A = this chain, B = another copy of it.
Amino acid sequence: MKQLEERIRTEGRVLPGGILKVDGFLNHRIDTQLLHDMALEVSRLYDGCGVNKILTVEASGIALASMTGYVMGCPMVFAKKSRTSNIAKDVYASEVVSFTHGNVSTIMVSKEVLSSQDRILIVDDFLATGAALIGLREICRLAGAEVIGAAISIEKVFQGGGDRLRAEGLRIESLARISSMTDDDLEFC
């Protein structure tokens, strides 16, 4: 998606350790018009695939996932990272290693909001090692839900997670695909 690539090129910043900072328009301050355009593009890519629910993980996936759900006419579910007092006791859970946070967390979805009737589109902001995607796919498997595919804002292709999951048969559509990143430059596929 050219519009997103252009914003990453002009406003993104690469930090030491392979971190791409897109805080100004995607990940802290969110350009909501761009967000809507991205949701439209995801909707176009998965048009006619029978998606009936969007699944993401808190927190940074929620904005695109809810906008995509609105555009596609589907509800959105976000996996939680902690068991708060307002989540049901009975959950599907999976462990995820966060690349950005550098820790392991358990993500969970209440059994009440996911079922074997669901045809899921997983939405997330970043795809690097694929850990979050694997965790969300596992939660769908536990629920008996079918994963139609995944839609990602920014894929760091050079970290390999996306291609490994594609090789396993998962459809992944990334709106911007970064093939290489150095301290002062980045290239798109």
Q: A residues bordering B, Cβ < 8 Å?
A: 15, 17, 19-25, 27-33, 35-36, 54, 58-59, 62-63, 66-67, 69-70, 73-78, 80, 82, 84-88, 100-102, 109-110, 112-113
Whether the Cβ atoms of A100 and B113 lie closer than 8 Å is no
Query: Per a CB cutoff under 8 Å, which of B27, B76, B86 touches A30?
Result: B76
Whether the Cβ atoms of A113 and B33 lie closer than 8 Å is no
Q: A70-B67, A85-B102, A87-B23 are in contact. Are A28 and B75 (CB under 8 A)?
A: no
- Residues of B contacting A69 with CB < 8 Å? 30, 32
Whether the Cβ atoms of A87 and B35 lie closer than 8 Å is no
Whether the Cβ atoms of B77 and A32 lie closer than 8 Å is no
Question: Max chain B CB contacts within 10 Å: which of A35, A74, A75?
Answer: A75
Output the least CB separation between A177 and chain B (Å): 19
Q: A35-B66, A59-B62, A76-B30 are in contact. Are A101 and B82 (CB under 8 A)?
A: yes
